[in-house]
A and B are shown apart, each in its own frame.
Chain A
Amino acid sequence: MKLKSIEAILTACKKNKSWAQAELFELFSDKMFGTCLYYTDNKADAEDLLQDGFIHIFNNIKKYKQNNIEAWMRRVFINLALMQYRRDKNRLDIVDNNIEGVDYIEENNDSGLDKDDLMTLISKLPKQYRLVFNLYAIEGYKHREIAEMLEISEGTSKSNLARARNILQTKIKNNSI
């Protein structure tokens, strides 16, 4: 099969061509699924996020006018994950303070430090810690921005980041023994 350029695929996607959507999915589904994995607790949620994200992308791709489709798609997925978090937070009143990271780490039997393992460590952080850590350490947002996105205070954001780091450090240390 002759491969089409990403520009041609995007142009066709803007015309709602199903084949183009299939090709765009083919090109980016793995990367986006990786992102979904470390923004969610489990694989099932990651799959749901993947589907919701691509539907959102196909419905809004006409708005895309940048040069980096991957970055744009990634941002879509992150925003969806944040929306999901805020929705759950309002509905369930999530309180992460009850979660003891050390206990959690003690239950973890990971023994490797490759990419998959590291991402797995992130995905197993408490939800709010995970989001703060991802947004700060991986995406590069400031605490002020994170506080706005997660509807928490800057202090809470900093505190969550510190706890997340502590958990991850401990985990890495345990894995390196």
Chain B
Amino acid sequence: MNNNIDDIFKNAAQNYSAPAPSNSWGKLDAALKSQQKALFIKKVYIAASVIFISGLALFFAFNNDVTEQGAIVESGKIEKQNTVNIVQNENDGIVKNSNQITSNSPVINNIVVEKAVSLPSESSLIVNEDIKKVDVRESISAINNFKEKKENKDEDKISSENKTIAQNSDIEVDANASVEIAGNNNFSEIDSQEDIAINEKKAKEEPVEALANIDEKHQNTIVEKEKITTEDVIIEVAVAGAKVEENSTTSNINKSAKEAPKATENSESIVANDIADSDVDAKSITENQIIKKDKPKTDLKFFIGQTFGITFTNAVSKDAVNSDPKLSIANNNSGDIWISASIDLGVEKDNFIFRSGIRLYNHEVCGDFEIKERDPYKVDLENFGISSLGYIRILNINTNVRLGNPLSAIYIQDFNRYNITVRYVDIPLIVAYKFQYKKFSFIPHVGLNTTFLISNDVMLESDEGYYMHGEIKEIKDYMFGISSGGGAYLNLGKHWMLGLDADFIYYPGSISSNPEFNYHPYSFIMGPSAVFKL
């Protein structure tokens, strides 16, 4: 009997079914979309975090590499026109005339210091209070060598090799400055690294005293005639060996007699020869006469940018409503404005910027139409495969309309509005170049874009609120595009740049995998942008 009962119910349960409530898919679909949205946001945050952390890791790894080279001191930054006072040791007989070249005294014109050399406290190089950034990049071991040699050799016969100044620091120089620096040939005669170390604070507070000390000790002479003002030129100077970088011309400051001959007739080398190396003629250096030597690998800059943009998109489909306007009217609202958001990570080197990131944006097509006589056979829609002649044949849309339900063929009079939203995540690979003008940066860029479809949504509505919800079938999961644009930024302090950025992206391929619907989407995105430089 027990088995009999069991069998009765087991047989009844076999293939037992009951019609699910009609709205159950709608609820389920909404729950799934909510879940997917949350998942997507989570993925974006994870990706952004990975990019950010990777950037930081790279930055710090790189930074460590720099500091290991020793003697790197970062003190501050010049915020305005700078003045550098360089004290003259009169005993060395340095020529003070900025326009004149003496045999032993290189004259450097028009130097503006942004990053002053951080030298030992008793350095012969004095930076006044206007100099706020000191960035010494390498140890100045050459100075110690020089010291030893100095002890062993006659002062007047110091070889040019010993005079080579190690590249140690960066100095930004203003090409427009009217300052002249005359340094005597004893510039390389600094006793030791300790002697040269510059304490910026001390330099700020006691520039004259510091200079005086230096002069007394080493009898070096660095003559400062006038002010050095800052801006466009960057000179990377070391105590023994210098590097000059300029916006348009990057030059080396050669302090070696050996290298002096390299200073050609055009005299693009800065010669800061030792006094003892009197055979070498120092040449005056004008603002255009600075030549380049090596470039440190430390001028990579990392940055993170975020842009919120207003996005304009083209129509990615069309309405083809019956030609008789008395019967039907269609309005295409394609290309609605959407807010897009992006986050970028980039690296800058020599004003070239390479960046990538994530950008979220939408293509949207809206259509409103009115069928005056409610005659479905007078309307023909063509939109992503929504093709209709009297009724919407669901050719290219998957919907929640149940199989076998008469609604699988939606009569067009049942609705008069549709909305198609296609959502993408775009990953750009962008190359840009930065033009600097005072505190402004202008950054044009070009790039390649890979765009991934993350969702598409089709909704058909009526004034009564009826809707059919679905998605386009034949749409590509990803597209490749090209982009160009640019931004104008205001540099705010050391780290921040704020500005406007615009980008135009065009996708040569059709958005649809159905050859019948060959639409090439594009987007124009413009909005405020904030960049944080590491």
Contacts and interface: CB of A to CB of B under 8 A. Distances in A.
Given A165-B2, A165-B5, A22 B399 contact: yes
Contacts of B36: 16
Nearest to A51: B28
B35 interface: yes
A128 to B, nearest CB: 17
Interface string B467-510: 00011010000000000000000000000000000000000000
B28 A54 contact: yes
Interface in A98-124: 115-116, 118-119, 122
Interface string B16-47: 11111100110111011001100000000000
Interface stretch (B137-145, B215-223, B238-246, B400-408): B400-408
Nearest to A29: B20
Interface stretch (A32-40, A61-69, A144-152): A32-40
B19 A30 contact: yes
Interface string A12-34: 00001111111101110111111
A73 interface: no
B402 A26 contact: yes
B9 interface: yes
Contacts of A50: 20, 24
A32 B35 CA distance: 22
B64 interface: no
A1 interface: yes
Contacts of A116: 18
Interface residues of A, number: 43
Contact of A119 (B2, B12, B455): B12
A3 B404 CA distance: 11
A120 to B, nearest CB: 10
B461 to A, nearest CB: 18
* Residue of B6, B13, B19, B403 with most chain A CB atoms under a 10 A cut-off: B13
A22 B29 contact: yes
A115 B25 contact: no
A168 B19 CA distance: 25
B31 A51 contact: yes
A18 B398 CA distance: 8
Nearest to B399: A22
B10 interface: yes
A168 B29 CA distance: 38
Given A30-B19, A47-B21, A18 B5 contact: no
Given A18-B398, A58-B32, A122 B24 contact: no
B1 interface: yes
B9 A1 contact: no
Given A22-B399, A50-B24, A119 B29 contact: no
Given A1-B394, A172-B8, A31 B17 contact: yes
Contacts of A55: 28, 31-32, 35
* Residue of B16, B21, B400, B402 with most chain A CB atoms under a 10 A cut-off: B16
Nearest to B6: A137
A34 B24 contact: no
A177 interface: no
B6 A118 contact: no
* Residue of B8, B10, B20, B399 with most chain A CB atoms under a 10 A cut-off: B20
B32 A119 contact: no
A79 interface: no
A32 B28 CA distance: 14
Given A30-B17, A138-B10, A47 B24 contact: yes
Nearest to B2: A165
A136 B2 CA distance: 12
Nearest to B30: A51
B1 A169 contact: yes
A25 B25 contact: yes
Contacts of A47: 20-21, 24
Contacts of B35: 55, 59
A169 B10 CA distance: 14
A21 B9 CA distance: 31
A140 to B, nearest CB: 8
B15 interface: yes
A133 interface: yes
Nearest to B31: A55
Contacts of A31: 15-17
B13 A138 contact: yes
A167 to B, nearest CB: 10
Nearest to A59: B35
A38 B13 contact: yes
A97 B398 CA distance: 50
A118 B8 contact: yes
Contacts of B19: 30, 33
Contacts of B29: 18, 21-22
Contacts of B398: 17-20, 22-23
A30 B534 CA distance: 59
A155 B9 CA distance: 23
Contacts of A3: 403
Nearest to B455: A18
Contact of A21 (B2, B21, B32): B32
Contact of B20 (A1, A16, A33, A136): A33
23 contacts: A1-B403, A18-B455, A19-B398, A19-B470, A22-B400, A22-B470, A23-B403, A33-B19, A38-B16, A47-B20, A47-B21, A51-B24, A55-B31, A55-B35, A58-B32, A115-B16, A116-B18, A118-B12, A133-B9, A138-B9, A138-B13, A169-B5, A172-B8
In the A-B complex, list the 5 residue pairs whose CB atoms are closest, starting with the nearest.
A19-B398, A137-B6, A30-B17, A118-B12, A29-B20
Given A18-B470, A22-B400, A134-B13, 7 more contacts: A1-B394, A22-B29, A26-B403, A30-B20, A31-B15, A55-B31, A115-B12
